[in-house]
């Protein structure tokens, strides 16, 4: 049987930079296809998508070895050009976990004294620092979708480039709850910090050669398979992945297309976030004109990625 043609329907939502989630008592909302037995599953990148943290990435000067700290957002926009073009053409990335470019995105091995004084991992330190400031400074474009999914008990996977232990990410969610920003802990399908050694092995990267976009692609498929295994096979399931990095979006889109071929009755969405808008693409199995629509998000509205 010939494979069906895959097309993409695109919509754009303008982001209201001054909007806070509506904290008054609100009713729980059923899944979009609840009456048909379908569930909605949410997959989130974390940095610059759900939250802005101050964790820097470090690039090294080719000649002097001088370190330059850049934000994760700046890295996402320039990663293809580091060492080649632009302002970072004279710099390079080091992949040493202890002293390299992403050392702050990994857990540290604590000694006895650190454990006695209950020293926190860098992720938790940076998260606590962000939460102590104004909400508008740390809540990233997908925050309201993240909150919606948690509030309505949607199954969630966090699929992040960070290399922390899964328990460290869970501790971050406990921190969010302790500060009153979420009503309860997420209903996790899984957590995939794809640069973590054990997570790489879990995703089949035994040679440790796969890129972050490649690993995220595998994590998406695993999350879909875990969702079907846990909640049953239903043609009315809906899956969406939200990310801000253009390189990740390309690979995410390719995997969503592949999943649509494998599960043509189910719905698959790719959500790319920007500073001022959110672009949503639905993967379709038949050729249709790509419709682009823009709508403004009203204050207090519950935000479902799949509507």
On whether both 46 and 67 belong to a single domain, the answer is no
- The reply to whether 117 falls in a domain is no
At 32 the pLDDT is 87
| Positive or negative torsion for Cα 273, 274, 279, 285 | negative
Q: Measuring CA to CA, how many Å separate 288 from each of 270, 293, 305?
A: 17, 15, 21
| Full strand arrangement of the beta sheet holding 67-70 | 67-70, 57-61, 91-92
On whether both 145 and 243 belong to a single domain, the answer is yes
Rounded to whole angstroms, the Cα distance separating 172 from 72 reads 18
The count of C-alpha atoms lying within 13 angstroms of the C-alpha of 138, restricted to the half-sphere facing its C-beta, is 15
CA neighbor of 300 nearest in space, from 25, 11, 31, 13: 25
User: In a 10 Å sphere around its CB, with 0-12 CB exposed, 13-18 middle and 19+ buried, how is residue 18 labelled?
Assistant: exposed
- The reply to whether 200 falls in a domain is yes
- The reply to whether 118 falls in a domain is no
At 168 the pLDDT is 96
On whether both 180 and 278 belong to a single domain, the answer is yes
Rounded to whole angstroms, the Cα distance separating 243 from 254 reads 14
On whether both 216 and 244 belong to a single domain, the answer is yes
On whether both 81 and 195 belong to a single domain, the answer is no
At 146 the pLDDT is 96
On whether both 170 and 75 belong to a single domain, the answer is no
On whether both 163 and 254 belong to a single domain, the answer is yes
pLDDT tens track, the chain, 307 positions: 555 677 787 777 666 554 445 555 678 898 888 899 999 999 999 999 999 999 999 999 999 999 999 998 888 888 888 999 888 999 999 988 889 999 999 998 876 665 665 788 999 999 999 999 999 999 999 999 999 999 999 999 999 999 999 999 999 999 999 999 999 999 999 999 999 999 999 999 999 999 999 999 999 999 999 999 999 999 999 999 999 988 899 999 999 999 999 999 999 999 999 878 899 999 998 654 343 444 444 434 566 777 6
- The reply to whether 276 falls in a domain is yes
CB-based contacts of 250, cutoff 8 Å, min separation 6: 213
At 22 the pLDDT is 52
User: What's the domain count of the chain?
Assistant: 2
At 174 the pLDDT is 97
- The reply to whether 26 falls in a domain is yes
On whether both 146 and 217 belong to a single domain, the answer is yes
From its phi and psi, is residue 158 left (phi > 0), alpha (psi between -120 and 50) or beta?
beta
On whether both 88 and 217 belong to a single domain, the answer is no
On whether both 240 and 263 belong to a single domain, the answer is yes
Q: What is the DSSP string of 110-152?
A: --HHHHHTTPPPHHHHHHHHHHTS-HHHHB-TTHHHHHHHHHT
Range of the domain at 232: 7-51+139-296
On whether both 41 and 62 belong to a single domain, the answer is no
At 143 the pLDDT is 95
- The reply to whether 111 falls in a domain is no
- The reply to whether 134 falls in a domain is no
Q: What is the DSSP string of 12-78?
A: EEE--TT-----S-------TTGGGT--EEEEE--BTTTB---PPEEEEETTT--EEEE-HHHHHHH
- The reply to whether 1 falls in a domain is no
On whether both 152 and 279 belong to a single domain, the answer is yes
Query: Are 53 and 130 within 8 A, CB to CB?
Result: yes
- Residue 13 tokens read as 């939502």
Q: Is the pTM of this model over 0.95?
A: no
Strand 67-70 with 57-61, pairing:
antiparallel
Rounded to whole angstroms, the Cα distance separating 215 from 245 reads 14
* Other beta carbons within 10 Å of 145: 24
CA dihedral 200, 204, 205, 206 (to 10 degrees): 100
User: In a 10 Å sphere around its CB, with 0-12 CB exposed, 13-18 middle and 19+ buried, how is residue 240 labelled?
Assistant: buried
Rounded to whole angstroms, the Cα distance separating 139 from 148 reads 14
């Amino acid at each position: 049987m010939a494979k069906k043609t895959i097309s993409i329907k695109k919509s754009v939502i303008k982001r209201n930079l001054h909007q806070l989630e509506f904290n008054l008592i609100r009713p729980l909302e059923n899944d979009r296809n609840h009456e048909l037995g379908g569930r909605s599953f949410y997959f989130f990148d974390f940095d610059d998508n759900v939250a802005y943290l101050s964790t820097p990435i470090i690039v090294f000067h080719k000649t002097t070895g001088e370190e330059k700290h850049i934000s994760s957002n700046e890295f996402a926009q320039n990663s293809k050009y580091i060492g080649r073009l632009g302002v970072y053409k004279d710099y390079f990335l080091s992949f040493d976990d202890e002293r390299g470019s992403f050392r702050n995105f990994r857990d540290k091995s604590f000694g006895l004294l650190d454990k006695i004084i209950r020293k926190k991992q860098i992720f938790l330190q940076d998260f606590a620092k962000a939460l102590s400031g104004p909400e508008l400074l740390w809540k990233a474009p997908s925050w309201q979708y993240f909150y919606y999914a948690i509030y309505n008990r949607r199954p969630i996977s966090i699929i992040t480039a960070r290399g922390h232990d899964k328990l460290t990410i869970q501790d971050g969610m406990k921190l969010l709850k302790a500060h009153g920003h979420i009503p309860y802990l997420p209903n996790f399908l899984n957590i995939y910090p794809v640069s973590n050694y054990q997570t790489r092995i879990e995703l089949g990267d035994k040679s440790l050669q796969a890129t972050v976009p490649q690993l995220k692609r595998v994590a998406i498929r695993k999350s879909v398979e875990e969702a079907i295994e846990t909640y049953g096979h239903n043609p009315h399931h809906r899956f969406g992945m939200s990310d801000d990095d253009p390189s990740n979006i390309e690979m995410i889109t390719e995997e969503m297309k592949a999943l649509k071929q494998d599960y043509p009755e189910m719905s698959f969405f790719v959500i790319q976030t920007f500073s001022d808008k959110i672009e949503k693409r639905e993967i379709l199995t038949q050729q249709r004109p790509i419709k682009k629509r823009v709508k403004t998000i009203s204050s207090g509205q519950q935000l479902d990625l799949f509507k």
